[in-house]
Structure 1
Amino acid sequence: MRALVVDHGEAGPVRFADVDEPVPSGDEALVEIRHIGLNFGELNYLHLWPASAVHGHDAAGVVVRAASDGSGPPEGTRVALGMSAHAWAERVAVNTASLGTVPEGVELADGAALGIAGATALRVLRKRSLLAREVLITGASGGVGHFAVQLAALAGARVTALVGSPERTAGLRELGADEVLTDLPGTERRFDLVLDTVGGPLLAQAWDSLAEGGTIHVVGYSSGEETTFPSGTLFGFGEPRTIETYGDRSPISEELTDLLGLVAAGKLAVPVGLRGDWRDVGDAVRALFARQVHGKIVLDVA
């Protein structure tokens, strides 16, 4: 069968290859993949994955063989995969703890866009009550950002979305942002929670805008730049402020189910900024790296 595998050469980050058919273990379902979802991290930090391994974590398809231990969805169920290793292939053996059932009325391709981005946003924003709180989402025009803006607004927060340029502000107010910024130092707001996907100098700026008792959750560093805190910046009086890292790789079946339920109820929009064929993955990766896509990239498996 065909799959997209890791390529550490100049032609990378992925290439097509013929690979062996998967052999599911007792707690794995065999899924025929119909759509895959691309993420910046898994493609940009390729050194973390071995060469020629089937790549990817997010996808959606149909169960063609249920798990033999009786767990998970039955044959014929439409499912979304999230944080599931080796997902970009025509057929995948998936632990049932990484599957979410796609409800009727929800497009299967939208399920492929949720995965890492949706679960990351949901897990971070569930860490504290957001009702009437000030929340800042950096990199708000990306995949995590689009979901985070919506989920924070649903939770009753006053949401500020930060993007890198005026061209990337489109649609964020419609998703629930109360304010959209392209420059953080100009704001006088103090934020109770910051979900930061950018890192670099922006992280230090966010710290300066953090309210007493507030928390910054670092979920990415798409800028690729170093963060330097000026001398004395980390000292302060009053209720402590904190910075927390994020690296939760535990199964996300519960989060996928909750997110898909919100989509089915019309409360969560899935931001697919580019839809295409997986044979054109090279073009899609270039668009992703060039920051030309607002939201997620979903490719159909031919």
Structure 2
Amino acid sequence: MRALVVDHSDAGPIRFADVDEPVPSAGEALVEIRHIGLNFGELNYVHQWPAGGVHGHDAAGVVVRAASDGSGPPAGTRVAVGMAPHAWAERVAVGPASLGTVPEGVDLADAAALGIAGVTPFRVLRKRSLLARNVLVTGASGGVGHFAVQLAALAGARVTALVGSPERAAGLRELGADNVLTDLAGTGDRFDLVLDTVGGPLVAQAWSSLAEGGTLYLVGYSSGQDTTFPSGALFGFGEPRSIATYGDMTPTGGELTDLLGLMAAGRLLAPVGLRGDWQGVGDAVQALFARKVHGKVVLDVA
């Protein structure tokens, strides 16, 4: 079967290859993949994975063989695959803990946009009550950012979306952002929770805008830049503020099911900014790296 594998050469970060068919364990279902969801992180930091291995974590498809131990969904079930290894292939073996059942009315391509981009902000924003709280989402025009804005608004927060340019602000107010900014300089707002996907100097800027008792969650570092705090910036009086890292790769089935339920109810939209055939994955990767995609890239598996 065909799959997208890690390529460490200059032609990378991924390429098509013929690979062996997966052999599910007793606790794994065999899923025929219909759509894959590309994420900036797993493409930009591809050196962290071995060359030649099937890449990718997020996808959606149909169970063609249920787990032999009786766990998980039966054959014929439409499923979303989230944060599972080796997902960018025609068929994958997946444990039930990494699967979410796709309800009627939810397109499989939209379900493929979930995974890392949907579950990451969902887990962070669930950590505290956000009702009438000020929430800042940086890198809001990306996949994680689009989901974060919607979920924070659903939780009752006053949402500020930060983007890199006015062109990348399109559609964010419609998703629930109360304010859309291109620069934190001069803002008088203080945020109870910051969800940062960018890293670099922006972290120090966001820290200076954090309210007493607030938390800054680091969920990405797309800028690739270092963060330097001015002298004394980390000292302060009042209720303690905190910075929290995020690297949670535990199974996502429960969160996927919750998110898919929100989609089915019309309360959560899939931020698909680019849709195409996986034969054109090279062009899709270039568009993602060039910041030409607002939201997620979803590719159809022929």
Aligned position for 1:19: 19
Q: Could you list the per-position Cα deviations for residues 206-236 of structure 1 after superposition, in whole angstroms to 9, with x for gaps in the alignment?
A: 0000000000000000000000000000000
Distance 2:198 2:250 in 1: 23
Distance 2:217 2:278 in 1: 33
Distance 2:108 2:198 in 1: 29
Q: Could you list the per-position Cα deviations for residues 35-77 of structure 1 after superposition, in whole angstroms to 9, with x for gaps in the alignment?
A: 0000000000011100000000000000000001111100000
Q: Could you list the per-position Cα deviations for residues 95-114 of structure 1 after superposition, in whole angstroms to 9, with x for gaps in the alignment?
A: 11000000000001111000
Distance 1:258 1:279 in 2: 31
What is the one-letter code of the residue matched to 1:281? V
Distance 1:245 1:161 in 2: 20
Aligned position for 1:152: 152
Distance 2:249 2:16 in 1: 26
Distance 1:60 1:253 in 2: 13
Aligned position for 2:64: 64
The structural deviation recorded for 1:203 is 0.3
**Which SS does the other structure have where 1:114 is aligned?**
coil
**Which SS does the other structure have where 1:255 is aligned?**
helix
Aligned position for 1:84: 84
Aligned position for 2:205: 205
Q: Could you list the per-position Cα deviations for residues 187-210 of structure 1 after superposition, in whole angstroms to 9, with x for gaps in the alignment?
A: 100000000000000000000000
Aligned position for 1:228: 228
**Which SS does the other structure have where 2:223 is aligned?**
coil
Aligned position for 1:117: 117
TM-score by length of 1: 1.00
Aligned position for 2:49: 49
Q: Could you list the per-position Cα deviations for residues 20-39 of structure 1 after superposition, in whole angstroms to 9, with x for gaps in the alignment?
A: 00000011000000000000
Matches within 5 A, 1:1-302: 1-302=1-302
**Which SS does the other structure have where 1:16 is aligned?**
strand
Q: Report percent identity of matched pairs.
A: 83
**Which SS does the other structure have where 2:297 is aligned?**
strand
How many pairs were matched up?
302
Superposed structure 1 runs of 4+ greater than 2 Å apart: none
Distance 1:186 1:260 in 2: 38
Q: Provide structure 1 residue ranges, at least 5 long, that are not aligned to the other structure.
A: none
The structural deviation recorded for 1:94 is 0.5
What is the one-letter code of the residue matched to 1:93? A
What is the one-letter code of the residue matched to 1:268? L
Distance 1:224 1:48 in 2: 15
Distance 1:161 1:266 in 2: 22
The structural deviation recorded for 1:149 is 0.2
Distance 2:9 2:89 in 1: 20
Q: Provide structure 2 residue ranges, at least 5 long, that are not aligned to the other structure.
A: none
TM-score by length of 2: 1.00
Distance 2:72 2:149 in 1: 31
